[in-house]
Structure 1
Amino acid sequence: MRKVTFRRKDKLDFKANEAFKTLRSNILFSGKDIKVLTLTSSTPNEGKTSISFQLASSFAAADNRVLFVDADIRKSVIAGRYKVDGNTYGLTHYMTGQRTMEEVICQTDIKNMDIILAGPVSPNPTELLGGPLFAQLLEEQRDNYDYIIIDAPPLGSVIDAALIARYVDGAIIVVESAVISYKMLQRVKEQLEKSECRILGVVLNKVDMEHDAYYGNYYGKYYGKYYGSYGES
């Protein structure tokens, strides 16, 4: 198996770490049949890729075997954002028949976590993601991993995430706080429902903890009495 190294990883503070542990626990409590998850959003830049990557890392840190799939084959940001070292093949190589499934799965320097990078930009991503090879990949890898986390393109922009949703056990919508309208989020929800996909919930991202009274007070009071005045310096 090829190996890739992430030269850059996000460093999470206490509150962020706790948030991902809570998200991981909520998924666990959603049922033992939830193994393949996809994350999408309404628009680009809501933090969907970062949430997907950190969620996969969180499951791996809890001694689960995790496969992270970068399915944003129109405009992937993984390799650039996390500075991936290693000459690898990607998802588009597999779905176009150029490489085998085994050739595109890479071991990472994160314990318990493997990855399939997006590969080169495809001229026909909808046809590839809706084709039989993508479904076959997920079906075969279910037995090899405890969790498969798929970073899908924003559903408010392209239909790709709805195609991916047909093959997963649950979907999570990432929403940027104070930016995305109710109507836009409703359209994304309806698209996922048309795919007969179970929507597990929403991750509210980029919340201003200092100026949002509800979230700031909640985290400060709830966690503060147990862990002290973290993050105040």
Structure 2
Amino acid sequence: MEDGGPGIEEKEHVDGLFTILSHLYGFAIADFVPWLEVFDFDGYKKILSDAINSVRKYQDPEINKRVEKWQRGIRKTEEDILDVLINLKDSKNNPLLSIQEIKAQITEIMLATVDNPSNAIEWAMAEMINQPNILDKVCKELDRVVGKDRLVEESDLPKLNYVKACVKESFRLHPMSPFNVPHVSTKDTIVGGYFVPKGSHMLLSRPGLGRNLRVWEDPLRYISTKSPPYSPTF
């Protein structure tokens, strides 16, 4: 739109992403009885199919155009993550990813970045505001490493040790979602001393891991240092 606001395409694309995210942990009977998938009793299959189609309707044509530009030699400089994915090669200079795999990776990246970073930043800032001494240390490190005349770049990260510690502590206390993405074990295995049979659906509680009293001293306190401030007490 001319005024800079979201247009119909942007709204449909973002709505599709949030629809997918909202159904990430949805229960579907077909996950446990696969032959029932065709009936879609829960309605999730249609909802997710429509949402994925809405997202890819706008992404896939742009990816196709970019791939064609590289193949025709029109584009020669890698400027973003899409260029990097297109140009990944093996030892024999063959493409590592097919176009379909690139499209799937871009969709994954969009799902991971549409909401999570803003939530993480808000929690980190909230915790540091509550402890001004930590916020002061973060600002001083940023001023020393980056300065006030430019944005943080990836090459700065190895020098921003205190900032990284603050971010990791925020992730521990305030994970971006309560559980990891659902996984299914492909074979019998043992994880953390527990026997996991083949075909088991696995969900790990992120708050449960990050606030475990047996592992973390004072688990609800936001503490950020260059070295781990806790000593496990198994």
Q: RCO (CA 8 Å, sep 6+): is it higher in 1 or 2?
A: 1
Same structural fold, with TM-score higher than 0.5 when normalized by the shorter chain: no
Greater CA radius of gyration, 1 or 2? 2
TM-score by length of 1: 0.23
Greater strand content: 1
